[in-house]
Amino acid sequence: EDQVTQSPEALRLQEGESSSLNCSYTVSGLRGLFWYRQDPGKGPEFLFTLYSAGEEKEKERLKATLTKKESFLHITAPKPEDSATYLCAVQNQAGTALIFGKGTTLSVSS
Amino acid sequence: EAGVTQFPSHSVIEKGQTVTLRCDPISGHDNLYWYRRVMGKEIKFLLHFVKESKQDESGMPNNRFLAERTGGTYSTLKVQPAELEDSGVYFCASSQVWGEAFFGQGTRLTV
């Protein structure tokens, strides 16, 4: 069964304190791994798509990487505005739906 | 460019009543998805339209849920009759490319 597990559930950082979020997945034939950001009361906002092991994508202070079993979202020198819930998802086998993890809630204090 | 629009943003109904949620996707996006997040759990897939056709409705909980997409444009999700366990946030998303879906702000349904 396709599954996505994210850790930690919650993460508190000081401004400037770099860290990584983990997303481990089980899927038959990865068709794509997706990272989203969600702010309270809003829908998920697309960040990155990764398709193959070794691939990396960057956007501002965020960098996503992918291995055969997991993905990391690295946050470099975070700012308070990076506080949000970060969601990881993979496409199902049929390619018709995203399977989400529960997310990691990041809080960055100044 | 307008994003995915959902309304209402909130709906509070009594058990046994009917509620209809609406989603307007990004113009030109053939793929439209419905997802739901129940409190404390992950976002879960409900169904997927390609234009006006249902591509995958394997996530629909039961026959109290009915989704339609008129002319391949906007979509509605009707819950009739609503039960307590239907409470949650219902998200609509649309995409041109598989997976790179753009989400609406969601409709919070309280039964």
User: pLDDT digit string (tens) for A77-108?
Assistant: 999 999 999 999 999 888 889 999 999 999 99
pLDDT at A65 over 80: yes
For the stretch B32-76, pLDDT in tens is 999 999 998 999 999 999 999 999 999 999 999 999 998 889 999
Interface contact flag, B41 A102, Cβ < 8 Å: yes
The per-residue pLDDT for B70 is 84
Using CB atoms, which residue from B43, B55, B58 is nearest to A100? B43
Average pLDDT of the residues of chain A = 95
Q: Would you call A95 an interface residue with chain B, using a CB distance cutoff of 8 Å?
A: yes
Over 70: is that where the pLDDT of B8 sits?
yes
Q: How far apart are CA A35 and CA B15, in angstroms?
A: 36
Cβ–Cβ gap B48/A97 under 8 Å:
yes
